[in-house]
Structure 1
Amino acid sequence: MKKQAIDFSIEKASEKDMQELARIYLEGYKGLEEYSYTHMDDVLAYLNWLFRRDVAGIFVAKHNGRIVGFVASDGNWFSKREGKVVGAIHEIVVLPDYRNKGVGKALVEKALEYFKSRGLDTAELWVGEENYPAINFYRSLGFESKDRFNYWIRMVKKIDN
């Protein structure tokens, strides 16, 4: 699929964005419900948890003033598998109409930049084993599959400091 670039900005999220992020989350996971929360109350509880984990690591992508995607990155995550604190990407969601336009890549790059600013040298994330578009997207950004747990695959990327 040919990328069709759009103008967008990446900004720090705030808790006032929570309802919109929940709406985007639910829309972004249509067809992938086995890997997501499916009820608004659960999504809001999850987003609250993400904000409490690392409010400084949540960024939104805006196009014409409208949020079209977000990344929840966590610079305080202790990875038992790595045996150290790593940057964790807990969530990245881009609205379907804004995929393949550079938004997701920019959000991941912002998360990696944030981790680097925290002095971290590794980023990790978990992705559903049959979410092939996401797996291929993460591979294209340099993430490698490391291990699995149930139907989740852990992917890791070294961060150049």
Structure 2
Amino acid sequence: MEILDLRHFRSSDLRSLLDEESRAWSRLLSWDYSGSAVEGERVLGYTFFVYEGSKGVIGDLFVQRGYAGQGQYSIEERLLGHVIETLQQSPGINRIEAQLLLHEAASMARPFIEEGFRRYPRLFMVLPLNTGFGNGNHWNQRLPEVEFRKWSDEDFQGAASVITTAYRDHIDSEINDQYRTSAGSLRFLNNIIRFPGCGLFDAEASIMARSRATRAPLGVILCSRVRNDVGHVTQVCVAPEYRGRGLGKALLCMACGELQKRGCRALSLTVTEANLPAVNLYKHMGFSIHRIFDAFVWGG
């Protein structure tokens, strides 16, 4: 077996591998993605990374099941070792991030830990949308000083401000350094809204909260469709001064109600295991842990 640059291959060379990966995303996470290692002429697996300035991001890792040679785990370790070495030796790269949703927590930790990465267990949680969540009028009465409105392109700057403020000195800004600056938060927003990597953005189920008195942004929830009947929370956060007042729950309930009204039967999200206030809120609302996976970070 040899490891080759993914750019050497045509999309048709990867078709059977990507079809199998698509089935895995659907089976494990209910995500619809329908629509590299080589043995002879057969592509057995792949991983890839992207450069973002001085940072490298490992985007995916997948190896076909049932390979009778070295075994799936051995190939995964070799692929990871190759991309980690490539990134660490790339001039100007001082940070590497990775999140591997298809792999159970700790299952792929060794190649990362041996190279000095920090590990952050994360939870993939799912809520069945089979109960009432309260409409907008309910939450307007509960929080009369807050204005809720569906997402518009005018909200990019305000949402970036909330994200940067909410994640200051927060564990999630250790995992994703984009949260540390307004410019980084804007890049994050552009990626999840303009591109379908985490599903197709759903503006109707994405809500901005602002102060009626000052117009200051107070919170935001962004949702996507990962399948026709499954939504996913790509971001939810609340300004520090508004934590503990029920605003986070209000945003989630309003998004759930909108998704449920349009035929969604479930909503998923990811959360860092150590973020106990958020985990406890989600559990209280009825979310259950579907799987645990890892985020890894190297450098500052």
**Out of 185, 194, 212, which is 1:43 matched to?**
185
Alpha-carbon distance between aligned partners in 2 of 1:34 and 1:59, rounded to the nearest angstrom: 26
Could you report, residue by residue, the CA deviation over 1:63-108 in whole angstroms, capped at 9, with x for unpaired residues? 223320000011x214xxxxx7411011101001101111111100
SS of the aligned residue for 2:244 comes to coil
Alpha-carbon distance between aligned partners in 2 of 1:55 and 1:17, rounded to the nearest angstrom: 11
* Aligned-partner residue type, residue 111 of structure 1: A
Is the 1:35–1:128 contact (alpha carbons within 8 Å) kept by the matching residues of 2? no
Within the alignment, does 1:54 sit opposite 2:192 as a pair?
no
Alpha-carbon distance between aligned partners in 1 of 2:174 and 2:272, rounded to the nearest angstrom: 8
Alpha-carbon distance between aligned partners in 2 of 1:73 and 1:93, rounded to the nearest angstrom: 12
- Give percent identity, aligned residues only: 27
Superposed, 1:56-135 pairs within 5 Å as: 56-64=204-212, 65-74=215-224, 76-78=225-227, 85-135=229-279
Alpha-carbon distance between aligned partners in 2 of 1:95 and 1:115, rounded to the nearest angstrom: 24
* Higher relative contact order structure (alpha carbons within 8 Å, sequence separation ≥ 6): 2
Is the 1:71–1:91 contact (alpha carbons within 8 Å) kept by the matching residues of 2? yes
Which aligned runs of 4 or more in structure 1 are off by greater than 4 angstroms?
none
The residue aligned with 1:13 is 151
The residue aligned with 1:28 is 166
* Aligned-partner residue type, residue 34 of structure 1: E
TM-score computed with the length of structure 1 as normaliser: 0.79
Alpha-carbon distance between aligned partners in 2 of 1:39 and 1:63, rounded to the nearest angstrom: 22
CA RMSD of aligned residues (A): 2.0
Is the 1:15–1:51 contact (alpha carbons within 8 Å) kept by the matching residues of 2? no
TM-score computed with the length of structure 2 as normaliser: 0.44
Alpha-carbon distance between aligned partners in 2 of 1:143 and 1:121, rounded to the nearest angstrom: 13
